[in-house]
Chain A
């Protein structure tokens, strides 16, 4: 049996790594992630976790160590945020291209310049196209659960996973977390088995130069081209939603909390108005939905838990009955709008032709508090636009001051 502990998000992530029996850890401290490598160092030095902790000199090397350790069959772990994640950028592509089941918590933080150490999601959203899967956590419970689930999914599909949670808002906030027992985790997550062998008898040349057209191997069989490898990664992502769903259900059967649904849903069944958001903001949006219901607006919330692969069909269906949708997000693709808004609209276009009035609200950048009044403003404005059949021209910034 597990136990309930009062933990910060960072302590939870470190404990989750320990429960997953990670074998190689390589991490470089960055606010607000620093406590994760600190706690893991303590586990390793006290002998509570049988792992090699490589105290690298940079995030670029952290991912470099993880990539190569994973290549030879170790279960690896790192964590980072913000500029540290950006510094890893080429390595993220490399890890996904090499099909390595690396799991990495990202304590979401804004990117410089100018400097901020506080929370938004510009860091991980900017890494959307690296080939990693991205899970987002509502609270600290989801951190431990999604780290364990992430290893299971990553090792089945051979695709790395970022487990993203809001810096400070979760990383430094204590809350009760049900921690499963080691036996339960061991039963759910067997040791990682490398799908090939590293031996002197059958040497391998890993990730060499690959040409534009398939070339024959020494036995005359055609081997994939560069584009062939890229297509395989996309095909795996396309199959990943059902895999995550199945393993998320299996997780529920073992631990009592199901992750079958890639979406967090709150009072959405009969909703005229929906917030669509990610991470811990789903929790604030849920409180605001209650306030809106008190006003007589049938409001609900959809929180996107899995951002890559994108749950397009599920999201399109979830918002199809709403007349107004406010996509509230802590990141922006400069020159257009928030990526979640763009992707939700694309999903609606592809899947059901329903055409709710969509507003995009950029909030909470660089740790700016998102107040219920901000969310109420977003809701009222969106529903006003529904009434007047008016389209928002650009995303609205709430709480940005001067």
Chain B
């Protein structure tokens, strides 16, 4: 049979299954007016101006509520959590060593279970360094064991807390402090696929620029047992090189160009969400150049490299569209 026909058939089959899911998800989505009023991050955190992290973290905690205990390594989130003896965060938090965020979360889950406090949600959050790179071993281990945690990789695409050094999450063409002359030559590691290969009950991507999408996904994740993995794209003004007022704009452009695709995979079932879903339906995906040219880190990219970036983005988009879900 013609392979194109086959994939078309698969797409149709997936479509019919996801219609129901889509309806259910739509009925679940939360309007901004319906968000809980309770705040778990008090005003005045130490993050950089325009940081994309607290925007998302605020809605994550609104979704998970006060019975949450979170663990994080040394990262931008450590800065947000403040300097002893003060903290702007009003949930229980634990600091851990760089490579052990998922192990720490596993310890919290086990410790709370044996001491009869199953009502706590265990949240692990680490950056791309603490997840794609140094944290991958502990995370893979915890995910394989089905540890009952929500693990969030907030991805700002370089080691931002130590001063913008390249990571395996840094995209091709980006200048960092360790790729200062020759921009990064390798593509971004497809970490989400690595996590999907762990066959998790829930995996999702989201972005700081879409608080409703963030909130809904964490609300859903909270009700699921087992290892839930959420990849959160976090625009970083100093690391990416854009004005602090443009954080949300950059996050939106990342999604509107298809560089970041919003979706979720629930027990193997793939589904586009939010803006990515409407782009898939309308077919109106913006060129990556709109996203790249707003950022100082891509200033050295040649026309050929931008064409390559567009092709890679399109390939990945097509690959995801091939999974249906819209």
Q: Quick one: which of A23, A69, A204 has the most chain B CB within 10 A? A: A69
Q: Which residues of B contact A54 (CB under 8 A)?
A: 106-107, 110, 145
Q: Are A65 and B110 in contact (CB under 8 A)?
A: yes
Which of B7-15, B87-95, B264-272, B311-319 forms part of the interface with chain A? Answer: B87-95
Q: Quick one: which of A90, A205, A216, A218 has the most chain B CB within 10 A? A: A205
Residue of B nearest to A51 (CB): B114
- Our pick among B84, B111, B113 for the contact of A223 (Cβ within 8 Å) is B84
| Minimum distance in angstroms from A144 CB to a CB of chain B | 23
CB of B273 within 8 Å of the partner chain:
no
CB of A346 within 8 Å of the partner chain:
no
Residue of A nearest to B94 (CB): A206
CB of A215 within 8 Å of the partner chain:
yes
Q: Which residues of B contact A61 (CB under 8 A)?
A: 100, 102-103, 106, 137-138, 141-142
CB of A68 within 8 Å of the partner chain:
yes
Q: Are A69 and B94 in contact (CB under 8 A)?
A: no
Cα separation A91 to B99 with both chains bound (whole Å): 10
Q: Which residues of B contact A200 (CB under 8 A)?
A: 66-67, 91-92
Cα separation A300 to B33 with both chains bound (whole Å): 81
Within 8 A of B (CB), among A194-218: 198-200, 203-211, 215-218
Cα separation A210 to B292 with both chains bound (whole Å): 38
Q: Which residues of A contact B145 (CB under 8 A)?
A: 54-55
| Minimum distance in angstroms from A164 CB to a CB of chain B | 23
Given the interface pairs A65-B106, A94-B97, the reply to whether A198 lies near B69 with Cβ below 8 Å is yes
Q: Which residues of B contact A211 (CB under 8 A)?
A: 83-84
Q: Are A209 and B107 in contact (CB under 8 A)?
A: no
**Contact count band on A:** 35 or more
CB of A26 within 8 Å of the partner chain:
yes
Q: Are A205 and B82 in contact (CB under 8 A)?
A: yes
Q: Which residues of A contact B91 (CB under 8 A)?
A: 200, 203
Q: How many residues of chain B get a CB closer than 8 Å to chain A's CBs?
A: 45
Q: Are A203 and B110 in contact (CB under 8 A)?
A: no
Q: Which residues of A contact B92 (CB under 8 A)?
A: 198-200, 203-206
Q: Are A67 and B96 in contact (CB under 8 A)?
A: yes
Q: Are B82 and A56 in contact (CB under 8 A)?
A: no
Within 8 A of A (CB), among B151-166: none
Cα separation A242 to B287 with both chains bound (whole Å): 72
Within 8 A of A (CB), among B184-202: none
| Minimum distance in angstroms from A333 CB to a CB of chain B | 26
Cα separation A139 to B131 with both chains bound (whole Å): 43
Q: Quick one: which of A55, A64, A206 has the most chain B CB within 10 A? A: A64
CB of B244 within 8 Å of the partner chain:
no
Cα separation A215 to B144 with both chains bound (whole Å): 42
| Minimum distance in angstroms from A2 CB to a CB of chain B | 26
Q: Mark B101-121, 1 if CB is under 8 A from A, else 0.
A: 011111110111111010010
Q: Are A91 and B97 in contact (CB under 8 A)?
A: yes
Q: Are A52 and B113 in contact (CB under 8 A)?
A: yes
Within 8 A of A (CB), among B58-103: 66-67, 69, 71, 78, 81-87, 89-97, 99-100, 102-103
Which of A71-79, A129-137, A284-292 forms part of the interface with chain B? Answer: A71-79
CB of A330 within 8 Å of the partner chain:
no
- Our pick among A55, A57, A90, A205 for the contact of B93 (Cβ within 8 Å) is A205
| Minimum distance in angstroms from A242 CB to a CB of chain B | 31
Q: Which residues of A contact B29 (CB under 8 A)?
A: none
Within 8 A of B (CB), among A57-105: 57-58, 60-74, 76, 90-91, 94
| Minimum distance in angstroms from B300 CB to a CB of chain A | 35
Cα separation A75 to B112 with both chains bound (whole Å): 11
Q: Are A210 and B106 in contact (CB under 8 A)?
A: no
- Our pick among A56, A57, A58, A73 for the contact of B115 (Cβ within 8 Å) is A73
Residue of B nearest to A22 (CB): B114
CB of A24 within 8 Å of the partner chain:
yes
Q: Are A90 and B97 in contact (CB under 8 A)?
A: yes
Residue of A nearest to B145 (CB): A55
CB of B22 within 8 Å of the partner chain:
no
Q: Are A205 and B117 in contact (CB under 8 A)?
A: no
| Minimum distance in angstroms from A383 CB to a CB of chain B | 49
Q: Quick one: which of A71, A91, A94, A210 has the most chain B CB within 10 A? A: A71
Chain A interface residues (CB < 8 Å from chain B): 23-24, 26, 50-52, 54-58, 60-74, 76, 90-91, 94, 198-200, 203-211, 215-218, 223
Subset of 19 A-B contacts with CB under 8 Å: A23-B115, A26-B106, A52-B110, A52-B113, A60-B97, A67-B107, A69-B114, A70-B107, A71-B94, A72-B69, A74-B115, A90-B97, A198-B69, A198-B112, A198-B117, A200-B66, A208-B95, A215-B83, A218-B86
Could you list 19 further interchain pairs (A-B, Cβ under 8 angstroms) beyond the known A58-B138, A69-B114? A24-B111, A50-B114, A54-B107, A54-B110, A56-B106, A56-B141, A60-B137, A61-B142, A64-B99, A67-B104, A71-B107, A71-B108, A72-B111, A91-B100, A200-B67, A208-B78, A209-B82, A217-B85, A218-B86
In the complex, the 4 A-B pairs of residues with the closest C-beta atoms, listed nearest first: A68-B107, A64-B103, A57-B141, A69-B111
